[in-house]
Amino acid sequence: MRRMARRDKVIWAATAVHLAIAAFYGLHVRLEFHIPQALDRVLSIYGGLTGVRARFDFFAPEVPNEARADFLIVPADGAARRVRLAATPSGEANRRMALMFTIYAYPTERERLLRAWGEYMLRLHPDAVEVVSRVEMLEIPSVRDSAAGKRATWTEVGRATVRRGAEPGR
């Protein structure tokens, strides 16, 4: 049997390592808890360039709740008006926007998200002196509860005020 050329050996070894990383992360082994931080960072960067660090937990283990936000635009004079980010004709674009609101589920990011959305709305509405952002989460009952007549409901989970030229309040 012909001996494997050195180049082929390197390719096989690299491929084995590549797929092993994909398997560890894909199969939900929390490698980051068992390896040095520096190595974890290298793997994170490698994963960011190749996709091997993906966890493929689409809709799993639970189908997450959906979030949405609306904004109370308060002008210097005149009546305040409530607006949403307009739905686009593209389902793909709308889905990506919906995903953005879902990040609100991460407690560490809430304040920064509300501030970013408020500032964006201030840019969109030059007449506004203040924007009150409100985030709601959709609670979907189980199949059994839904069959018994319980309906999905939007529940407010957070709000924040951003004033033009000022730090955000709560």
Partner 1 sequence: MGAALLIQAYVLWTYRELLLNANGPIPWALGDSWVDPVLPKLSDLLPLFSAAGLGAEAVVATVLAVHAVAAAFLMVGYRSRAAALFAWATFVLIKDSSPAFLYGVGAMMLIALFYCLLMPVAREWSLDRLLKAPMPGGRDASFSVLVLRMHLCIVYAAAGIAKAAGEQWWAGDAIWRALSLPQFRQFDPSPLLAYPLLLQALAIGTILAQLAYPVLVWTRARVVIVAATELMHLGIAIFLGLWLFSLMMIVLNAAAFGESVWKAISARWLRRPPPGAAASAR
Point out which residues bind partner 1 (CB under 8 A).
11, 15, 19, 22-23, 26-28, 41, 44-45, 48-52, 54-63, 66, 68, 85, 88, 90-100, 103, 112-113, 116-117, 119-120, 123, 138, 140, 142-144, 146-147, 152
Q: How many whole angstroms from its chain centre is CA 137?
A: 14
Strand partners, 156: 136
Residue with tokens 């994909």: 22
Distances (CA, A) of 52 to 26, 38, 99: 8, 17, 22
Q: Which is nearer to partner 1, 33 or 58 (CB)?
A: 58
Q: How far is the CB of 118 from partner 1 (least distance, A)?
A: 10
Q: How far is the CB of 93 from partner 1 (least distance, A)?
A: 4
Q: How far is the CB of 77 from partner 1 (least distance, A)?
A: 26
Q: Which is nearer to partner 1, 14 or 79 (CB)?
A: 14
Handedness of CA 33, 62, 91, 80 (dihedral sign): negative
Q: How far is the CB of 104 from partner 1 (least distance, A)?
A: 10
Q: How far is the CB of 36 from partner 1 (least distance, A)?
A: 16
CA distance 109 to 104: 7
| Closest alpha carbon to 68 in 83, 90, 52, 51 | 83
Sequence-ordered list of residues with C-beta below 8 angstroms from that of 153, at least 6 positions apart, any chain: 138, 139
Structure tokens at 142: 């189980």
